[in-house]
Structure 1
Amino acid sequence: MVLLDLKSKPALRAKFGVKDERVLPFEVIPIINIPEFGDKADVKVCIDLKIKSQNEKDKLEEANRLTYLKGFTERTMIVGVYTGMKVQEAKPLIRTKLLELGHGVIYSEPEKRIMSRSGD
Structure 2
Amino acid sequence: MREKYSIKESMILPFDPVPIIYVEPYENLPAPTVYEKFNIQSQYDYEKLARAKDEILLTGKYQQQKVADVKKFIRDDLITSKQVCIYYELENKVISRSGDQGVVALCDHSFINYGNESWKEEARHVLQQLNVFTDKTRHNFEATFDWLYEHTCSRSYGLGTRLP
TM-score by length of 1: 0.51
Distance 1:29 1:105 in 2: 29
2:44 aligned with 1:92:
no
2:32 aligned with 1:43:
yes
2:4 aligned with 1:15:
yes
Superposed displacement of residue 17, structure 1: 2.0
2:95 aligned with 1:61:
no
Which structure has more helix as a fraction of its residues? 1
2:68 aligned with 1:34:
no
Highest CA radius of gyration, 1 or 2? Answer: 2
Aligned letter for 2:147? R
Distance 1:105 1:62 in 2: 38
**Residue 3 of structure 2 aligns to a residue in which SS?**
helix
Closer/same/farther in 2, CA of residues 98 and 69 from structure 1, 3 Å limit: same
Equivalent residue number for residue 113 of structure 1: 147
- Structure 2 gaps of 5+ residues are 64-73, 88-105, 116-145, 149-164
**Residue 91 of structure 1 aligns to a residue in which SS?**
helix
- Structure 1 gaps of 5+ residues are 1-11, 75-85, 115-120
Q: How many equivalent residue pairs? A: 87
Aligned letter for 1:113? W
